[in-house]
Structure 1
Amino acid sequence: MGLRWQDWPGSVLARLRHGCAIPAHPLALNARRELDTLRQRALSRYYLAAGAGGLAVGVHTTQFAIRQVGLFETVLSLAAEAATERDEAPILVAGAIGRTEQAVREARIARGLGYHAALLSLAAWKGASEDEIIAHCQAVAAEMPVFGFYLQPAVGGVPLKLSFWRRFAAIENVIAIKMAPFDRYATLDVLRGVLEAGAQDRIALYTGNDDHIVADLLTPFALAGAEKPLRILGGLLGHWSVWTRAAVDLHARCRGADATPALLALDAQVTEMNAAVFDVAHNFHGVIAGCHEILRRQGLLDGIWCLDPDEGLSPGQSELLTAVAQRYPHLTDDAFVRANLNTWLS
């Protein structure tokens, strides 16, 4: 018998549907590119102390290659253990990738470790029919609640039509969708699909559009046929794996708020910061290393090592990171990290 969203603690379901910041958890490695358990745990503690409502682990920011080196279950376990240190249980989301056999296996592992939902990547389904992809989603949803994921095609995602999102949203154990196509048209396809499936009260909408985080949170999507505007309630973001205390504050200011000039001005500022962290100038090559570099500068990581030795900062990326942090200090949290770092590393 799989886990249903109705089985969740009421506080977890309420947090998801109210909206919160969920960082996509990085992987802490040492100079030998082995897991640094102390710093991996410290990252989880940092996010939760910063006010994050959940953790997403085993996702792109965690590096998909953790599966090839046998770290998937270990890394999920460390985050789950850190979560038990909090009085209020965070939402635990585990990445599930690959074809159906692999994704179901990963969902079962996550469920056994106390995770609440599987963030389902469909990148392995390029060229498959809509029927095949829906059958895959239904199989994973039979194991545990599913957090849908529209990944931008530029980094491996599969283009998905409105008809897919309508059928996907009709799956009863789909509890949320992360929209990250970096495309306003495609984002609207997801929203329309949820609406036409009549699932807007069940499915919590989260942004993964790092190029429009603030705009997504502020926009009332008053689509024809909707009794009330659809709202994007929170974010599950790699960008929010850095400067997380500031991200939590940003989310609190924007969630359900009316757009004002001051809030709209933040959209461009956050997007400019994201361009540096995610290495947009080099087609996202240094995206993971960019996150690592911010965390290294703060002392949370010992280095920016990735499992793939070819992954690192792009030329000029370090200088860009310095520049955006100086331009927008109100979107950073260096002082918060300095005050608490020794506690998280204890």
Structure 2
Amino acid sequence: MAAKQAGATLSPELLDALRDGLAIPAHPLALDESRRLDEASQRALSRYYIASGAGGIAVGVHSTQFEIRDPEHSLLETVLRMAAEEVERARLDRPFLMVAGVCGPTEQALREAELARSLGYGAALLSMGGLAGWSERELLERTRQVAERMPVIGFYLQSSVGGRRLSYAFWREFADIPNVVAIKMAPFNRYQTLDVVRAVCSSPRRDEIALYTGNDDNIVADLLTTFRFTIDGEIVEKTIVGGLLGHWAVWTRNAVELLEEIKRVRKGASISREWLTWAAQVTDANAAFFDPAHGFEGCIPGIHEVLRRQGLMKGIWCLNPQETLSPGQREEIDRVYAQYPHLNDDAFVAAHLSDWLDEA
């Protein structure tokens, strides 16, 4: 199914799965001690996410390191292709959405979208980062042009890692763009998240757009909340159906199970208070991985450290040598490992790791 997903629109099966809610981890970049691509580990990560039951993977995004696009590395096509090959090899009998990170000015974004389509990717996660001087009108026109090439997932990125504040009016017009199939909300801000949800609910396309959380500081609460607005005299409800998350690049098997349990709970009449405790535990674990104590400087190495401990990566190296764990971050990861053993999937990884690393 994944091998046939690329095109101007998503297949009905993938659209249904996207709107029902998927767990989509943001794929990291595995390097060796020379900071060169570690192909065995990179492929093992893709196999891990597939075997974990994830509903897709996002490649070429922040967790994959934006430096892969720099001429001295030139790894974008390589990592996109490798992940696509692993999805093809898996011969899945369920919908699996391959998402490609797309960024930069319009011409760059269009080139990246065309590359992703040619490799079988189904949707573009369109970053607004790095375009601080652009007007909202220019960003909307850029989105329209990319959406003509392939389905677009909008991306509201927090300002502390390169995002910018975008108005309600921007998201209201964004939601009306044909072939926008979802929006990932990751402003790490309740007010800005509500702007997006209300804008989508106000659009005649509201039933065509799936909302996804990227708010790693509020994952469980986002997924449990029913948003309700009165639009033109009509009560409109919308839920955040799934997640596209760097946080879900680790402990992925348990993240998939968490989402499936939340989807069951959402169908009931009430929600146990225990979910609030679970929500706080997930946020506490995320703080250790993502390093908000130091302005998120250690967020990518923090993900790498967990994967290193599990044997899925050989080290925490990044393309930027300055990007490493912050002081005390390793100890914080120790703490959440000890505090919340029910959140990790170490046993699952240990049972399959040799197969993922040894597959031809």
Structure 1 length-normalised TM: 0.97
8 Å CA contact retained: 1:83, 1:89: no
Q: Secondary structure at the match of 1:128?
A: coil
Q: Secondary structure at the match of 1:231?
A: strand
8 Å CA contact retained: 2:27, 2:61: yes
Worse overlay, 285-294 or 258-267 = 258-267
Aligned to 1:314: 326
Match of 1:251 among 245, 248, 259: 259
Note the 1:157-176 alignment, pairs <5 A: 157-176=163-182
Counterpart AA for 1:238: G
8 Å CA contact retained: 2:17, 2:95: no
C-alpha displacement of 1:89: 4.4
Counterpart AA for 1:231: T
Runs of 4 or more, structure 1, over 6 Å off, are: none
C-alpha distance in 2 between matches for 1:265 and 1:223: 27
C-alpha displacement of 1:155: 1.0
Aligned to 1:268: 280
8 Å CA contact retained: 2:230, 2:236: no
Aligned to 1:50: 52
C-alpha displacement of 1:12: 1.7
- Percent pairwise identity: 57
Aligned to 1:277: 289
Q: What is the RMSD of the two structures over their aligned residues, measured on CA atoms?
A: 1.2
Worse overlay, 326-335 or 195-204 = 195-204
Aligned to 2:310: 298
C-alpha distance in 2 between matches for 1:287 and 1:39: 19
Number of residues paired by the alignment?
343
Q: Secondary structure at the match of 2:125?
A: strand
C-alpha displacement of 1:125: 2.0
Q: Quick check: 1:94 aligned with 2:106?
A: no
Could you report, residue by residue, the CA deviation over 1:131-168 in whole angstroms, capped at 9, with x for unpaired residues?
Answer: 11111111111111100000011111011001000111
Q: Quick check: 1:336 aligned with 2:336?
A: no
Could you report, residue by residue, the CA deviation over 1:94-128 in whole angstroms, capped at 9, with x for unpaired residues?
Answer: 00011001011000000000000000001122132
C-alpha distance in 2 between matches for 1:190 and 1:321: 32
C-alpha distance in 2 between matches for 1:251 and 1:89: 16
C-alpha displacement of 1:82: 0.9
C-alpha displacement of 1:10: 2.9
Aligned to 1:110: 116
Q: Quick check: 1:82 aligned with 2:86?
A: yes
C-alpha distance in 2 between matches for 1:271 and 1:338: 25
Could you report, residue by residue, the CA deviation over 1:35-76 in whole angstroms, capped at 9, with x for unpaired residues?
Answer: 111110100000110010000000000000001111000100
Counterpart AA for 2:25: P
C-alpha distance in 2 between matches for 1:103 and 1:82: 24
Match of 1:130 among 136, 148, 170: 136
Match of 1:223 among 212, 229, 249: 229
8 Å CA contact retained: 1:121, 1:149: yes
C-alpha displacement of 1:265: 1.3
Structure 2 length-normalised TM: 0.93
C-alpha displacement of 1:9: 3.1
Q: Secondary structure at the match of 1:291?
A: helix
Note the 1:200-239 alignment, pairs <5 A: 200-225=206-231, 227-239=235-247
Q: Secondary structure at the match of 1:147?
A: strand
Worse overlay, 284-293 or 248-257 = 248-257
Aligned to 1:23: 25
Counterpart AA for 2:253: R
C-alpha distance in 1 between matches for 2:185 and 2:282: 17
8 Å CA contact retained: 1:219, 1:259: no
